[in-house]
Structure 1
Amino acid sequence: MNKSELIDQIAARADLSKTAAGKALDAAIAAVKEALQQDDSVTLVGFGTFLVGERQARTGRNPRTGTSINIQGAKVPKFRPGKALKDAVN
């Protein structure tokens, strides 16, 4: 399912126009993104939790030359599914 198909589903289930559903989805995504930028987590009970994880700096290898390279640490977005979502999938 892509974004336009998701907007169609939201509009049908919430009895909204596609424009309003698109704006609501964009606002929700922006709110999650803003919270993650501030190192906060977003918990949607029954669905899951969006959070920021830390990836440690490490040493890697250039596959072409075989030389060692340093890979910097980074913050990465993560999603931890909730129990209800796991149960719905299984």
Structure 2
Amino acid sequence: MNRSELIASVAEQTGLNAQEAAAAVTATLDGIAQGVAAGDAVALAGFGTFERRHRAARAGRNPQTGEAIQIAASVAPAFKPATAFRRLVAE
């Protein structure tokens, strides 16, 4: 499912027109992104939690040369699904 299919699904389920559904989907996704970017965890009960995860610096290898390299610490977005969502997907 891509963004336009999600918007169509929201419009169908809520009775909103396509423009209103697009605005709702955009606002929801923007709110999640802004919350995570600010360092907050965004928890949606029954769906999951979006959060920032810190990755420590570590040693790695260049696959072409085999040379040891240092990989810098970084921050990445992460999603942890709720139990209900995991069970739904596993069925």
Post-superposition offset of 1:83: 1.7
User: Structure 1, residues 39-66: CA drift from partner, whole Å, max 9, x if none?
Assistant: 1000110111111111111111111111
**Residue 75 of structure 1 corresponds to which residue in structure 2?**
75
Superposition RMSD in Å = 0.9
Post-superposition offset of 1:73: 0.9
**Deviation >3 Å, runs of 4+:** none
CA distance in 2, matches of 1:45, 1:12: 23
**Residue 48 of structure 2 corresponds to which residue in structure 1?**
48
SS in 2 for 1:54: strand
CA distance in 2, matches of 1:44, 1:51: 11
Which letter does structure 2 place at the counterpart of 1:24?
Answer: A
User: Structure 1, residues 7-53: CA drift from partner, whole Å, max 9, x if none?
Assistant: 10000001001111111111111111111111100011011111111
**Residue 26 of structure 2 corresponds to which residue in structure 1?**
26
Which letter does structure 2 place at the counterpart of 1:11?
Answer: A
SS in 1 for 2:76: strand
CA distance in 2, matches of 1:61, 1:80: 29
Asked if residue 64 in structure 1 is aligned to residue 64 in structure 2, the reply is yes
Where structure 2 has 5 or more consecutive residues not aligned to the other structure, the ranges are none
Number of positions where the alignment pairs a residue of Structure 1 with one of Structure 2? 90
Which letter does structure 2 place at the counterpart of 1:51?
Answer: E
Report the identity percentage: 39
CA distance in 1, matches of 2:65, 2:88: 46
SS in 2 for 1:88: helix
